[in-house]
Amino acid sequence: MDLQRALQDALQHHQAGRLPQAETHYRRILAVDPNNASVLHLLGVLAHQVNQHQAAIDLIQAAIQRNPSDPSFYNNLGSACAALGRAADAITCYRKAIALSPQIPGAHHNLGVALHQTGQVAAAIEEYRLAIRHKPDYGGAYADLSAALLTIGKMDEAAQAARMALQIEPDSATAHATLAKVNGTTC
């Protein structure tokens, strides 16, 4: 088996949303190379996508055991933990991803979401801003920043962040909701 070609095929299926085919390819690769950290990680990402979050955690943890230096592994592990309501574990994972690579906007955004959900709004705002600093066109981070700023009563800043989000993602429900609240209207 040409493992590189098999991985390319699996990724093509995965990226096209053909998840059962991608899973089949990933499992074939693991049958030949059971210690392939990248494939374990990708299979974990796939499991998370189909709401098999505990399986995702198990697979991504196995990937981390084989390669503890890939920040994307920790970021995706955090997302699987968050999906199971394990906010503290998710926060730990996101912080580990950021420690390994401080410029990952998605990890900062994900950490911000987890912190916001646990009531740590000031820390969440800082993480949203870091995500935006690393990716200035990050609409989701602007939208979540707007909601966090609204939470602490910074109406003008919340409206500004919401408008930025809408320039990037015109259909952002979070940004629209923030602007509606700032303007005193309800949806």
* Per-residue model confidence (pLDDT) at position 25: 95
Task: Write down the pLDDT at residue 187.
Answer: 47
pLDDT for 61-76, tens place per residue?
999 999 999 999 999 9
In a domain, 97, yes or no: no
**91 in any annotated domain:** no
The residue-averaged pLDDT of 153-159 equals 97
Q: How many domains does the chain have?
A: 2
The residue with tokens 């409206």 is 159
* Residues spanned by the domain of 51: 1-86
pLDDT tens for each residue of 94-104: 999 999 999 99
Asked whether 107 and 93 are in contact (CB, 8 A), the reply is no
Mark which of 86, 111, 128 sits at the end of a domain. 86
How does pLDDT run across 31-90, given as a tens digit for each residue? 999 999 999 999 999 999 999 999 999 999 999 999 999 999 999 999 999 999 999 999
Where does residue 184 rank: exposed (0-12), middle (13-18), buried (19+ CB within 10 A)? exposed
pLDDT at residue 153 tops 90:
yes
Which among 52, 86, 120 is the end of a domain? 86
Spatial contact of 14 and 30, defined as CB atoms under 8 Å apart: no
Q: DSSP letter string over 96-150?
A: HHHHH-TT-HHHHHHHHHHHHHTT-HHHHHHHHHHHHHH-TT-HHHHHHHHHHHH
pLDDT tier for residue 184 given thresholds of 50, 70 and 90: confident
Asked if pLDDT for residue 20 goes beyond 60, the answer is yes
Quick one: 71 and 7 in the same domain? yes
